[in-house]
């Protein structure tokens, strides 16, 4: 449009920002950027391992979850290998699989939730090497109890790996994270500093899994892919639990405000365990796209799911009060405009 957005509520970024301690750590490290980053991410992996009571050999750090998904696909997917995901789930995983010649099989959401039972049944049917599941889910914000996912894993076929994307788990209710023996070969869990820790631009993700699988990343990962400032900032963010708690409280307040704004306009906000809310616009995908376009025209950046019936919604990130005030002002006008368009 040739101008900046007034409210950036479409990328699920943490607009409340990183811990001031992380910002200061990055600033203080600037003079030492003549050095490469630590290829082993030793200090960060050590802190992550200590906080979870596991070994450093069970953690690999990479360039965000996206980077780790790319490494995993490169490591495991050969031409013709079958992989299962949900139709309409986070698409970047699909791009990696397709790029290495894998064959994607998709299952529908159950209501507005990814369906572990259906995913695992499809994996058994097609002999899948990998199943991808996000918990909590993007783009719907829905979630499953971790214990329910573990129970459903009894149906995972032998030799199939569950890739569990837990990018938003810090925002979720207690019991959402999966609790399972770290050496269980059926599971690898993906986490990030992009969301709750507010470091999306630093690109720091990590994977938790069995030592043999984690060690295999060393065969193919970019050993100097992690930049030094990002490593230092992530470690400082990890060591500031008070800021994390404050951020989660701010996000919860933002979700509540989005739900209030939706209801005020006769719309329904879906329950969310993330830092965004899917708002049901009450019609089909074409109508939701018209609402989205109306918001964007008015300087409010939002996104939407891309597969029916989830595409009846727009997806709104939990923003600052001033961001949500702009959303509240723009939404009635966008709805009126969308309703005036010919069917």
Q: pTM (2 decimals)?
A: 0.95
Same CATH topology for 7-15+242-340 and 20-239? no
7-15+242-340 maps to CATH 3.90.1150.10: yes
The structural domains of the chain, with segments of one domain joined by +, span 7-15+242-340, 20-239
Give the SS3 label for residue 133: strand
Measuring CA to CA, which residue among 190, 274, 192 is closest to residue 12?
274
Which helix (DSSP H) or strand (DSSP E) does residue 79 occupy?
none
> pLDDT truncated to tens, each residue of the chain (343 aa)?
889 999 999 999 999 999 999 999 999 999 999 999 999 999 999 999 999 999 999 999 999 999 999 999 999 999 999 999 999 999 999 999 999 999 999 999 999 999 999 999 999 999 999 999 999 999 999 999 999 999 999 999 999 999 999 999 999 999 999 999 999 999 999 999 999 999 999 999 999 999 999 999 999 999 999 999 999 999 999 999 999 999 999 999 999 999 999 999 999 999 999 999 999 999 999 999 999 999 999 999 999 999 999 999 999 999 999 999 999 999 999 999 999 988 6
Dihedral (C-alpha) 135, 69, 104, 219: value to the nearest 10 degrees? -140
3.40.50.300, 2.60.120.200, 3.40.640.10, 1.20.120.1690: which CATH number matches 20-239? 3.40.640.10
d(CA 105, CA 21): 44
Q: How many CB atoms lie within 10 A of CB 12?
A: 22
């Amino acid at each position: 449009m040739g101008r900046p957005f007034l409210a950036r509520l479409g990328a699920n970024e943490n607009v409340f920002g990183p811990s001031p301690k992380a910002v200061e750590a990055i600033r203080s490290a600037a003079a030492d950027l003549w050095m490469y980053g630590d290829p082993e991410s030793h200090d960060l992996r050590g802190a992550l391992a200590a906080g979870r009571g596991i070994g450093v050999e069970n953690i690999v750090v990479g360039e965000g979850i996206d980077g780790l998904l790319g490494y995993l696909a490169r490591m495991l997917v050969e031409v013709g290998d079958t992989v299962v995901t949900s139709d309409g789930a986070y698409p970047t995983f699909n791009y990696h699989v397709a790029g290495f010649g894998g064959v994607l099989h998709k299952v529908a959401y159950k209501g507005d939730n990814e369906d572990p039972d259906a995913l695992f049944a499809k994996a058994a049917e097609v002999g899948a090497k990998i199943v991808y599941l996000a918990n909590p889910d993007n783009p719907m914000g829905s979630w499953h109890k971790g214990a329910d996912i573990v129970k459903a894993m009894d149906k995972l076929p032998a030799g199939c790996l569950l890739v569990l994307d837990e990018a938003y788990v810090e925002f979720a209710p207690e019991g959402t994270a999966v609790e399972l023996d770290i050496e269980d070969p059926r599971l690898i869990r993906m986490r990030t500093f992009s969301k709750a820790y507010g470091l999306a631009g630093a690109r720091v993700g990590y994977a938790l899994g069995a030592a043999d699988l984690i060690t295999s990343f060393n065969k193919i990962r970019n050993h100097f892919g992690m930049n030094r400032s990002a490593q230092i900032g992530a470690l400082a963010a990890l060591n500031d639990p008070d800021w994390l708690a404050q951020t989660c409280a701010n996000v919860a307040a933002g979700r509540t405000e989005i739900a209030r704004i939706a209801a005020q306009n006769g719309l329904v906000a879906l329950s969310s365990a993330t830092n965004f809310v899917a708002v049901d616009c009450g019609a089909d995908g074409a109508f939701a796209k018209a609402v989205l376009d109306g918001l964007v025209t008015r300087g409010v950046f939002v996104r939407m799911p891309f597969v029916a019936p989830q595409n009846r919604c727009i997806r709104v990130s939990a923003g600052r009060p001033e961001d949500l005030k702009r959303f509240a002002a723009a939404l009635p006008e966008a709805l009126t405009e969308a309703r005036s368009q010919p069917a």
